[in-house]
Copies of this chain bind each other. A is one copy, B any other.
Amino acid sequence: MSEDRVDRRVDTVAETLFREQNRLVTAFEELDGSAFRRTPWQRDAFGRGQVCVLDGGAVLERAAVNVSVVAGTRLPPSITDSAPHLLGQPFRVTGLSMVVHPANPYAPACHANFRFFSSGSDWWFGGGVDLTPCYGFDEDATHFHQTLHDWCARHPAADYAAWKSACDSYFTLPHRDETRGVGGVFFDRVTGSFAELWSCVADGLATILPAYLPILRRRCSLPFTDRERRWQLLRRGRYVEFNLVHDRGTRFGLQTGADIDAVLVSMPPLAAWSYGVVPEPGSPEADLQRFLVPRDWLG
């Protein structure tokens, strides 16, 4: 395919991502009752985007939905380490990323990202949606995975089993020997029929809210005490560890000289570390460990 055609596809995808951003932000504003700050930005040769952030909401301690479409002169090592033939090639990429850190310790954090890369005549999609609870609920994990499974089942280009397993592998803290949360789906460098893949990704964007909102709604008003808040902050420390030590998206952002605040908007608003915290056996905090290993969560 001609480079021009691939290039035009970046703009087509970007347009949809900006529309989806608005839809997600509106839905979260309705749930929370507070407004996001919307910060559009443009840097001539680099690209443009919009950062939407809600801080200190009643339900959402932090929520961020970012869309950008940027061009680079050289693919950075975080990409080319696994694709040496693209080393130093110019590229364009558009992506939407979302992260929600609820205030209530019983409500899980949710992360989603969809992106479209082009470099010369090469192009690929990547993306994923995953859930990170501080307290585990079987029905939440099952609802989340079942919704993602059903989305994948609608698309020949998708493979729930493979993408679920890739998510478990990717969102892992090797130094803690645990997954970041209950996972979800994750795929990278998927190419093939553009029409099929784009239809699958667009439907994936539409799946974020039905996968997450029912869980958020049933957990966001549960009563909690300092004990649960403290545990939430410690678990958020693990979230920070994953993002800064392992996450390729964050490393890509740090390497491309993007706006650092926008790259790190995925960080939790507040996180804690403590030495030698071991939850009491049989406690709800200890029970979380059961959720931090790869498992079949389908209902």
Contacts and interface: CB of A to CB of B under 8 A. Distances in A.
Interface in A37-88: 37, 39, 51, 53, 55, 64
A271 interface: yes
B237 A267 contact: yes
Contact of A240 (B51, B176, B240, B269): B240
A261 B276 contact: yes
B269 A269 contact: no
A64 B55 CA distance: 32
A271 B254 CA distance: 20
A269 B275 CA distance: 9
A62 to B, nearest CB: 8
- This protein's copies in its complex: 2
A233 interface: yes
B274 A269 contact: yes
A64 B275 contact: yes
Interface string A255-278: 000001111110111111111110
A267 B272 CA distance: 9
A40 to B, nearest CB: 13
Contacts of A270: 233, 270-272
Contacts of A268: 273
A245 interface: yes
Interface string A210-227: 000000000000000000
Interface of A: 37, 39, 51, 53, 55, 64, 175-176, 233, 237, 240-241, 244-245, 254, 260-265, 267-277
Given A270-B270, A271-B272, 18 more contacts: A37-B275, A53-B275, A53-B276, A55-B274, A55-B275, A175-B254, A175-B260, A175-B263, A233-B270, A240-B240, A240-B244, A240-B271, A261-B276, A265-B275, A267-B273, A269-B272, A270-B271, A271-B271
